[in-house]
Structure 1
Amino acid sequence: MSASLPATARFITFEGIDGSGKSTQIKRLAEHLAGRGYDVVVTREPGGSPGAEEIRALVLQGDPDRWSAETEILLFTAARRDHLERTILPALAAGKIVLCDRFADSTRMYQGLSRGNLRALVDQLHDLMIGHEPDLTVLIDMDPALGLTRALSRRTADERFEAFGEDLQTAMRQGFLDLAEEFADRFRVIDGGRDMDAVAADIATLVDGALA
Structure 2
Amino acid sequence: MVLFYKKQDAAQRGKFITFEGGEGAGKSTQIKLLMARLQAAGLECICTREPGGSPGAEVIREVLLSGAVHAHGPEVEAMLFAAARADHIDSVIRPALAAGTWVLCDRFADSSRVYQGEAGVDKQTIENLQRIAVDGVEPDLTLLIDVPAELGLKRVNKRSQDGPDNAPDRFEKDSLETHQRRRQLFLQIARENRERFAVIDGSRHANEVEEQIKKVVSMRFEAELPSSLEYERASLPNAAAKRGGNTPKNNNRGKRRRGRKR
8 Å contact kept, 1:11–1:136:
yes
Whether 2:128 is the aligned partner of 1:124: answer: yes
How big is the shift at 1:64? Answer: 8.1
How many angstroms apart in 2 are the aligned matches of 1:117 and 1:129?
17
8 Å contact kept, 2:48–2:104:
yes
How many angstroms apart in 2 are the aligned matches of 1:154 and 1:66?
27
1:140 corresponds, among 136, 141, 145, to 145
The one-letter code sitting in structure 2 at the alignment partner of 1:80 is R
Secondary structure in 1 aligned to 2:76? helix
Partner of 1:10: 15
Partner of 2:66: 61
Q: Provide TM-score, normalisation by structure 1.
A: 0.93
The one-letter code sitting in structure 2 at the alignment partner of 1:127 is R
The one-letter code sitting in structure 2 at the alignment partner of 1:6 is Q
Whether 2:168 is the aligned partner of 1:164: answer: no
Secondary structure in 2 aligned to 1:162? coil
Whether 2:198 is the aligned partner of 1:178: answer: no
How many angstroms apart in 2 are the aligned matches of 1:88 and 1:157?
29
Whether 2:91 is the aligned partner of 1:81: answer: no
> Once the two structures are superposed, what CA deviation does each residue of 1:159-210 show, in whole Å capped at 9, x if it has no partner?
1001112111100110000000111110000101111101101101111222
Q: Structure 1 residues 157, 88: closer, same or farther in 2, change over 3 A?
A: farther
CA RMSD of aligned residues (A): 1.6
8 Å contact kept, 1:64–1:161:
no
Partner of 1:49: 54
How many angstroms apart in 2 are the aligned matches of 1:96 and 1:3?
13
8 Å contact kept, 2:200–2:209:
yes
Between the two proteins, what is the percent identity of the paired residues? 45
Range moving further from structure 2, 170-179 or 57-66? 57-66
Partner of 1:199: 209
Q: Provide TM-score, normalisation by structure 2.
A: 0.76
The one-letter code sitting in structure 2 at the alignment partner of 1:39 is E
Range moving further from structure 2, 75-84 or 126-135? 126-135
How big is the shift at 1:5? Answer: 6.2
The one-letter code sitting in structure 1 at the alignment partner of 2:79 is L
Decide which structure has the larger Cα Rg and report it.
Answer: 2
Whether 2:43 is the aligned partner of 1:38: answer: yes
How many angstroms apart in 2 are the aligned matches of 1:80 and 1:135?
17
> Once the two structures are superposed, what CA deviation does each residue of 1:112-135 show, in whole Å capped at 9, x if it has no partner?
x22114222110111133232200
Number of residue pairs aligned between Structure 1 and Structure 2: 210
Q: Structure 1 residues 5, 91: closer, same or farther in 2, change over 3 A?
A: farther
8 Å contact kept, 1:5–1:92:
no
The one-letter code sitting in structure 1 at the alignment partner of 2:119 is R
Q: Structure 1 residues 5, 115: closer, same or farther in 2, change over 3 A?
A: farther
> Once the two structures are superposed, what CA deviation does each residue of 1:47-68 show, in whole Å capped at 9, x if it has no partner?
0000000000000113683331
Segments of 5+ residues of structure 2 without an aligned counterpart are 1-6, 161-165, 223-262
